[in-house]
Amino acid sequence: MTDNRLTWLIYNGSSGSFDRTLLGEVTVMLRDADYAPDRVTDCCEGENLSADQASLAGVKLIVILGGDGTLSRTIAGLEGFDGAVLPLPGGTFNLLCRTIFGERDPLEILKDFAEGRLTPQRRACIRGDGGLLALSEVLAGPGATWADVREELRDGNIPELLAKSIEAASESTAGPMVAVVDPPRGRPEGYSGVRLVPGPSGMAIAGYGAEGFLTLLQQGAAILARDFRAGPHDDLATADKVVCRSVENAPIPLMIDGERSEGGPQVVFSLDTLGVDLLGPADGR
């Protein structure tokens, strides 16, 4: 970091995982590290922050406390920002932060930051049709309806969670399957979910069959502690470009960094480099 320590702190106050006490602790630790936030913003209030806004204001550090959806949306808008972004876990699964920091909590990450153990890094990401950007993962196929279950899990709505679980399991097992056609890999009849994870050597491709999603439902309340990623799957390949196609030529449900979306009957995904620096451990651990 330079001598300019102008810092903005962004959080998601409407998230079911939001902890105001934690926000206060984060603010204090930033102040103690001589990065007292000049601006503290709830991302659900007002316009989304842009790279141009931050750069014109002379900001050098943007700290984001939130879950994967909050981080993904906010960081996407910051591509081109000439400072650095520090993501802090504040959600349910925290896929991006776990990839970068392991199981460190926000205060442990800030301690590393204050002690100079974090460095700016350009990370791999996934881009797709229609401006799609994923920082942590893409799930393509009817299994993407499990993103709706995540919403109820965040909100702690158990009756709705169980109802959405049944709906998602039904869609996962009966919805149009998705096949990996380029590179041609896996089951010709397709999968309930094709998961893509960006990495320095390419996108790791994994196929999840309907049976894996159905197992989650059969475990009943165990869904509160688990998700589909731990289930049985086929490791298919690593590639810089992946084409997924609906075997029934239907729109493909998508889960982008845990948030629901939808693509056409065929979606092309490409490995790319994120256009903004994220702070992470200098030693990669």
For the stretch 211-250, pLDDT in tens is 665 555 554 444 444 456 767 789 999 999 999 999 999 9
Domains of the chain, earliest start first: 7-116 (3.40.50.10330), 131-273 (2.60.200)
- Give the residue from 258, 72, 224 showing the smallest Cα distance to 153: 224
Identify any residues that bridge with 275 across adjacent strands, giving them in sequence order.
Answer: none
Please report the pLDDT score of residue 279 as a whole number: 98
Round to whole Å and give the CA distance between 70 and 86. 13
Round to whole Å and give the CA distance between 98 and 153. 19
Angle 20-32/106-114 helices, nearest 10 degrees? 10
Question: What is the token pair recorded at 65?
Answer: 């406390």
Please report which residue ranges of 33-157 form alpha helices under DSSP H. Answer: 51-56, 68-77, 95-101, 106-114, 146-155
Q: Are 68 and 255 in contact (CB under 8 A)?
A: no
Q: What is the DSSP letter of 229?
A: G
Please report the pLDDT score of residue 226 as a whole number: 46
For the stretch 31-66, pLDDT in tens is 999 999 999 999 877 667 889 999 999 999 999 999
Please report the pLDDT score of residue 220 as a whole number: 45
Give the Cβ contact number of residue 65 at 10 Å: 27
Encode the chain (285 residues) as per-residue pLDDT tens digits: 447 799 999 998 877 677 899 999 999 999 999 999 999 999 877 667 889 999 999 999 999 999 998 999 999 999 999 999 999 999 878 999 999 999 999 999 999 999 999 999 999 999 999 899 999 999 999 888 765 555 555 555 545 544 555 455 555 556 789 999 999 999 999 998 899 999 999 999 999 887 665 555 554 444 444 456 767 789 999 999 999 999 999 999 999 998 889 999 999 999 999 999 999 998 755
Q: Are 141 and 192 in contact (CB under 8 A)?
A: yes
Question: What is the token pair recorded at 269?
Answer: 């995904």
